[in-house]
């Protein structure tokens, strides 16, 4: 890593989690590209300008997604490695290898009809609401937003519900990346879960994502299928959970939404889009490595150094607009851009809005127990993720319940 002109700013720890916008404001003082630390001793450049982000994301001749040279400089227990290490999947590859993996994932998701996805999400939502509806209180992160996509993905992969706890803890630990031990153990647990799942589907195919990947004309090997499932679960679950909980926290703390729960103005769709612009679930990602030394927006970056894109910082400063949260309907980078932009954007939007609508229609007087500006956020350089979302509501007795048995 080349020496920085100024000290890197940490993107880990409680201060960044509690107030990322202040950190982004400090980073913008460096220009479009700023030096950061992702974990103690792990440096990177972060693109914080909207124009520079688009320049990087569309320039595949200069920028590669292949992390193999970079990762050789890291100790094997580096806490951000599970998120950034090379794998045979679309995120880590360029050109035809990227396209082959990406197309297999796109085609597998295309097998799921939107009405089935909506029904599956509603089923997962009802299962969870039923567990806490009679109590009159819940933590909507732990009890709802995080398990909803997990239950759904378990359904979509043809996995029995009782296995879902083996998925949730390792996924969270990987994204938080706070200690090397925790991150590596989480990575190993997650891999073991997915390897078993693919081996089961190898023996017994079904109408599910894993079987469609196994039978895809790209001819993926068993290991390659495991890697695409691993990515789908990791890339799909955490950001979708964060999209749901961040949007719910907005709806429950802003009168314009609150009135809509009782038949008024703004909808779940509006809340989701507010989150995408102002608190994108993937806050800082888009790992790229220059194929050769470059001068990029005034910064000299050597070949194979790590450069990330701050979707969160870039979103709040599109060219010509003042910094800060936005309420306009303009473009944003929450799904990234260019050849590696999220390929599952529409299904993810459908899952998030269905999950929110299902909850707010069943429990229509949800109230936050603490103000939104005091809600705790989870540490970690990559995400914008609430730690808890405590609410109360009028308990709904098990009989008669508004949902089917
Ligand atoms: C059904 C849920 C989802 C699935 C299965 C999914 C899957 C994927 C996959 C496979 C990629 C890699 C694409 C490539 O490299 O060509 C990707 C990229 C991405 N996804 Fe999603 N995604 C989901 C939901 C979300 C959500 C809710 C967000 C946040 C708004 C999101 C944001 C992104 C971003 C920013 C990227 C670019 C990755 C990067 O920064 O390197 N995704 N997604």
- Ligand 1, atom 24: closest residue by C-alpha: 236
Q: Which atom of ligand 1 is nearest to the CA of 243?
A: 27
Q: Residue 48 — φ and ψ, nearest 5°?
A: -110, -10
Among residues 65, 3, 99, 4, which one has the least CA distance to residue 308?
Answer: 65
Q: Which atom of ligand 1 is nearest to the CA of 280?
A: 30
For ligand 1, pick from 331, 342, 383, 384 the residue to mutate: most ligand atoms within 8 Å of CB. Answer: 342
Q: How many helices (H) and strands (E) does the chain have?
A: 16, 11
Distance between CA 160 and CA 188 in Å, rounded? 21
Task: Tally Cβ neighbours within 10 Å of residue 88.
Answer: 17
Cβ neighbors of 346 (< 8 A, separation 6 or more) are none
Q: Which atom of ligand 1 is nearest to the CA of 91?
A: 15
Distance between CA 5 and CA 163 in Å, rounded? 49
- Ligand 1, atom 23: closest residue by C-alpha: 236
Among residues 240, 272, 234, which one has the least CA distance to residue 148?
Answer: 240
**pLDDT given at position 354:** 98
Among residues 354, 329, 361, which one has the least CA distance to residue 263?
Answer: 361
- Ligand 1, atom 3: closest residue by C-alpha: 236
Cβ neighbors of 96 (< 8 A, separation 6 or more) are none
Among residues 84, 128, 138, which one has the least CA distance to residue 252?
Answer: 138
Instruction: Measure 342 CA to ligand 1 centroid, in angstroms.
Output: 4
Task: Tally Cβ neighbours within 10 Å of residue 209.
Answer: 25
Work out the angle at residue 376's Cα, subtended by the Cα atoms of residues 364 and 346, and round it to the nearest 5 degrees. 60
User: Which token pair is 238?
Assistant: 């955490």
Instruction: Measure 287 CA to ligand 1 centroid, in angstroms.
Output: 13
Among residues 227, 340, 302, which one has the least CA distance to residue 70?
Answer: 302
**pLDDT given at position 395:** 96
Distance between CA 293 and CA 373 in Å, rounded? 42
pLDDT per position as a tens digit, 72-85: 999 988 889 888 99
Kind plus residue range of the DSSP H or E element containing 17: helix 14-18
> Going residue by residue through the chain (405 aa), what tens digit of pLDDT does each one get?
444 556 799 999 888 999 999 999 999 999 999 999 999 999 999 999 999 999 999 999 999 999 999 999 999 888 898 889 999 999 999 999 999 999 999 999 999 999 999 999 999 999 999 999 999 999 999 999 999 998 999 899 988 777 766 776 676 666 665 666 776 777 788 888 899 999 999 999 999 999 999 999 999 999 999 999 999 988 889 999 999 999 999 999 988 886 655 555 788 999 999 999 999 999 999 999 999 999 999 999 999 999 999 999 998 765 556 555 555 556 799 999 999 999 999 999 999 999 999 999 999 899 999 999 999 999 999 999 999 999 999 999 866 556 555
Q: What is the DSSP letter of 145?
A: I
Instruction: Measure 335 CA to ligand 1 centroid, in angstroms.
Output: 6
**pLDDT given at position 1:** 43
- Ligand 1, atom 11: closest residue by C-alpha: 342
Mind giving me the DSSP string for 183-246?
Answer: HHHHHHHHHHHHHHHHHHHHHS--SSHHHHHHT-TT---HHHHHHHHHHHHHHHHHHHHHHHHH
Q: Are strands 390-392 and 299-301 parallel, antiparallel or unpaired?
A: unpaired
Distance between CA 223 and CA 169 in Å, rounded? 23
**pLDDT given at position 259:** 60
CA-to-CA dists, residue 357 to 98, 251, 349, 376, angstroms: 35, 11, 12, 24
| Pocket around ligand 1 at a 6 A CB cut-off | 90-91, 102, 105, 231-232, 235-236, 239-240, 243, 276, 280-282, 285-286, 311, 334-336, 340, 342-344, 347-348, 351
Q: Are strands 367-368 and 63-64 parallel, antiparallel or unpaired?
A: unpaired
pLDDT per position as a tens digit, 234-271: 888 999 999 999 999 999 998 888 665 555 578 899 99
Mind giving me the DSSP string for 97-111?
Answer: HHHHHHHHHHHHHHT
Among residues 126, 17, 145, 1, which one has the least CA distance to residue 71?
Answer: 1
**pLDDT given at position 3:** 43
User: Which token pair is 178?
Assistant: 């706070």
User: Which token pair is 389?
Assistant: 């979302």
- Ligand 1, atom 28: closest residue by C-alpha: 239
Distance between CA 183 and CA 322 in Å, rounded? 37
Burial track 345-363 (b if 16+ CB lie within 10 A, e otherwise): eebbbbbbbbbbbbbbebb
Q: Which CATH number fits domain 9-392: 3.40.50.460, 2.60.120.10, 1.10.630.10, 1.10.150.80?
A: 1.10.630.10
**pLDDT given at position 331:** 79
**Contact between residue 237 and residue 174 where contact means Cβ atoms under 8 Å apart:** no
pLDDT per position as a tens digit, 358-393: 999 999 899 999 999 999 999 999 999 999 999 999
């Amino acid at each position: 890593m080349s020496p920085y002109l100024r000290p890197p700013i940490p993107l880990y720890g409680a201060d960044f989690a509690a107030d990322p916008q202040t950190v982004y404001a400090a980073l913008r003082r460096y220009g479009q590209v700023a030096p950061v630390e992702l974990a103690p001793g792990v440096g990177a450049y972060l693109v914080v300008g909207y124009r520079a982000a688009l320049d990087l994301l569309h320039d595949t001749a200069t920028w590669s997604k292949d992390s193999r040279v970079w990762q050789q400089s890291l100790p094997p227990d580096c806490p951000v490695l599970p998120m950034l290490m090379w794998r045979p999947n679309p995120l880590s590859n360029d050109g035809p290898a990227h396209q082959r993996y990406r197309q297999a994932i796109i085609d597998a998701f295309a097998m799921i009809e939107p009405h089935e996805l909506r029904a599956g999400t509603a089923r997962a939502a009802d299962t969870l609401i039923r567990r806490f509806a009679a109590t009159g209180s819940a933590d909507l992160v732990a009890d709802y937003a995080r398990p909803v996509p997990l239950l759904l993905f378990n359904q979509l992969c043809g996995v029995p519900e009782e296995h879902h706890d083996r998925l949730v803890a390792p996924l969270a630990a990987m994204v938080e990346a706070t200690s090397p031990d925790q991150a590596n153990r989480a990575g190993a647990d997650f891999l073991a879960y997915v390897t078993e799942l693919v081996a089961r589907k190898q023996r017994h195919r079904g109408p599910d994502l894993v079987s469609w990947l196994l039978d895809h004309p790209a001819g993926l090997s068993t290991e390659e299928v495991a890697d695409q499932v691993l990515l789908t679960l990791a890339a799909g679950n955490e950001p979708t959970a964060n999209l749901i909980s961040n949007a719910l926290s907005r709806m429950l703390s802003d009168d314009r939404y609150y009135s809509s729960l009782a038949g008024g103005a703004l909808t779940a769709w509006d809340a989701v889009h507010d989150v995408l612009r102002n608190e994108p679930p993937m806050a800082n990602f888009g790992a790229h490595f220059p194929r050769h030394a470059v001068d990029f927006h005034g910064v000299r970056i050597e070949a194979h150094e790590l450069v990330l894109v701050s979707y969160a910082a870039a979103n709040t400063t599109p060219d010509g607009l003042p910094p800060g949260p936005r309420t306009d309907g303009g473009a944003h980078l929450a799904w990234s851009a260019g050849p590696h932009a999220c390929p599952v954007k529409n299904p993810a939007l459908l899952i998030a809005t269905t999950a929110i609508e299902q909850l707010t229609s069943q429990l229509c007087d949800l109230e936050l127990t603490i103000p939104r500006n005091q809600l705790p956020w989870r540490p970690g350089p990559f995400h914008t993720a609430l730690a808890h979302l405590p609410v109360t509501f009028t308990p709904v007795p098990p009989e008669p319940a508004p949902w089917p048995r």
